[in-house]
Amino acid sequence: MIPRRTLLIASTGITTPAAATAPSSPRPGPRSGARKADAEALHLAPAREQVAALCRREISSRDLLEQYLRHIARANPQVNAIVTLDADAARAAADRADRHLAGTGRPLGPLHGLPMTVKDALETQGMRTTSGSPDLSGHVPDRDADAVALLRAAGAVLVGKTNVPVMCQDIQTSNPLFGKTDNPYDSTRTAGGSSGGAAAAVATGLTGLEVGSDLAGSLRLPAAYCGVHALRTSRGAAPVVPVRGHIPRLPGWATSSDMVTLGPMARTADDLDLLLDVLVAPAPADRSGWTITLPAPARTELAQYRVGVWADDAYCRVDAETRALLDRVTTLLRSVGASVDDVTRPVDFAESNTLFQRLLFATGSATATDSAFAADVAAAEKIPADDPAGLFLHSRTMRHRDWCVADEARQKLRAAWDRYFADHDVLITPAAPTAAVPDQTGTPPPQRFITVDGVRRPFFDQTSWVNLASLVGLPSVVVPAGRTADGLPLAVQIIGPYLADRTLVAMAKQLAPHLPGPGRPPARTA
């Protein structure tokens, strides 16, 4: 295992202490008049403010990058969020951005010169991409994932990669290559997964923006646990953000799960908007024939929204602090004049979650080896089809006809959601049953559990609320909304109709002034 206080230079495989920084090379300087105190802490400002300062030449991309590198050296050892760092390539990219702006007077794009990290599940040309798997410890892609290419084209400076569980297949973040990522508010708690490194990095100011992936809440659960914003983008026949180059599937695969999406993560809802504008695009092969234009927000003020609230459910009870949070949000919305319906429900929770699990287990079998899949088939044949204990194996090995029947059930659930959103603009739910749960990295998966108001519950109940949107391809945003009595972030989830991504981000912006923030984790001010 690589020592936690060591980061990797991905393009060479050489280890270097995180605190090491090279001398700055000559470069175009910032314009005079910038406020020194603000400039020295610009890396902790919202990403949109950083880009604006860069474009006004109040600070150079290289100087902003050096701020980030110093902060990473101080703060990253506390959380172990960034696991691969390529400072030399980032410096070269920052210098190119500075030369371009000085020579042309025009920014490279909407992310001009902005240092940022990328989840280690997204292939990055010339930078090691492992998805936390020892089998991929030496994988250095020769091509960017499509989403990463969009970041570079927008002018982003890619600094490094953030930690994930092995092949993104856990809802906490640890792997044999890089160890465990800690929750930035409490090291005994999980940061969530699989985008745990991304969420911890954003929360602690190691990056202003991140791109996470989401199948079973991998983007939204870590955001809720770490007190940041995250948007699961819409997915229909094709995703609105291209997913090729995301691991899993394995390197070289052209396809992905039909429920995987990529989306932005940030400390503010406004920064979600900034990154969403960059990421939304057809896959490269489709760009000659069509474009994606997400509709404008449906409402401009909170009072205009028709809001559904699903605060709790017998299928997946939430704890007292989470329920109190939903009650406060409901009261707030009514007080500003929004129409609130806290009675009607779009779907049956149990039916939806069971179908999601079946399709999740089925899609996960795609990259199994022939021998492993044959063993699963043999094991499934020994368990009666109606035995709940066989849900995993029977789903993983289902015949194509069974998948078609399950997909038909999914389409009927999509239609039920469509009918619900004919009368509601959004639905607000808990993001998870509780705040961040104790980390259980050293506990075998069958023995893991969570506790909700003193009641022991299945470990994967953590994702049940976010799975409501995953199954049917709906957009969903997680919004920080205060803290527990123990100081852990709390959050709500807002689900919207298909392609209403901008409506969700707009509502998150409008809610933000009325909601308490999660507070700054200690590492952010290191």
On whether the CB atoms of residues 25 and 60 are closer than 8 A, the answer is: no
User: How many Cα neighbours within 13 Å face the side chain of 219?
Assistant: 32
Q: Measure the CA–CA gap between 354 and 518, rounded to whole angstroms.
A: 32
451 forms beta bridges with: 456
275: helix, coil or strand?
helix
Contact assessment for residue 82 and residue 201, using Cβ atoms and an 8 Å cutoff: yes
**What b-and-e string marks burial along 25-64, b requiring 16 or more CB atoms within 10 Å of the CB?**
eebbebeeebeeeebeebbbbbbbbbbebbbebbbbbbbb
pTM of the model: 0.93
Q: Is the pLDDT of residue 506 over 90?
A: yes
Q: Indicate if the alpha-carbon torsion angle 261, 265, 268, 272 is positive or negative.
A: negative
- SS3 of 27-73: the string is CCCCCCCCCHHHHHCHHHCCHHHHHHHHHCCCCCHHHHHHHHHHHHH
pLDDT tier, 385 (very low <50, low <70, confident <90, very high otherwise) = confident
pLDDT at 118: 98
Q: What is the pLDDT of residue 38?
A: 66
Q: What is the pLDDT confidence band of residue 17, given thresholds at 50, 70 and 90?
A: very low
pLDDT above 50 for 380: yes
User: Does residue 21 have a pLDDT over 50?
Assistant: no
Give yes or no for residue 25 having a pLDDT over 50. Answer: no
- Let me know how many helices (H) and strands (E) the chain has, helices first: 15, 19
Q: Has residue 33 got a pLDDT over 50?
A: no
pLDDT above 90: residue 260: yes
Give the residue from 140, 365, 147 showing the smallest Cα distance to 246.
147
Tell whether the model's pLDDT for residue 19 goes beyond 70. no
Helix runs in 397-524, H state only: 400-421, 464-472, 501-511
Q: What tokens were used for 432?
A: 């998870």
Which pLDDT does position 388 carry in this prediction?
84
Q: Which strand (E) or helix (H) includes residue 270?
A: helix 269-279
pLDDT tens-digit map of 281-312: 999 999 999 999 999 999 999 999 999 999 99
Concatenated DSSP letters for 58-121? SS-HHHHHHHHHHHHHHHHHHH--EEEE-HHHHHHHHHHHHHHHHHHSS-SSTTTT-EEEEETT
- Evaluate if residue 30 carries a pLDDT over 70: no
Mean pLDDT of 383-391: 88
Spatial separation of the C-alpha atoms in residues 201 and 162, rounded to whole Å: 7
The half-sphere exposure of 312 on its side-chain side, counting CA atoms within 13 A, is 14
* Domain residue limits, the chain: 42-344+424-520
Confidence (pLDDT) at 6: 38
pLDDT in tens, 159-186: 999 999 999 999 999 999 999 999 999 9
Rounded Cα distance, 167 and 280, in Å: 25
Q: How confident is the model at residue 523 (pLDDT cuts 50, 70, 90)?
A: confident
Lowest mean pLDDT among 71-85, 114-128, 261-275, 363-377: 363-377
What integer is the mean pLDDT of 307-330? Answer: 98
- Do the Cβ atoms of 4 and 77 come closer than 8 Å? yes
Q: pLDDT of 221-239, one tens digit each?
A: 999 999 999 999 999 988 9
Kindly tell me if the per-residue pLDDT of 8 is higher than 50.
Answer: no
- What distance lies between CA 62 and its chain's CA centroid? 27
Report how far residue 145's alpha carbon sits from residue 150's, in angstroms, rounded to the nearest whole number.
Answer: 9
Token reading at 189: 């708690």
Q: What is the mean pLDDT of the chain?
A: 93
42-344+424-520 has CATH 3.90.1300.10 classification: yes
Place 7 in a pLDDT band, splitting at 50, 70 and 90.
Answer: very low
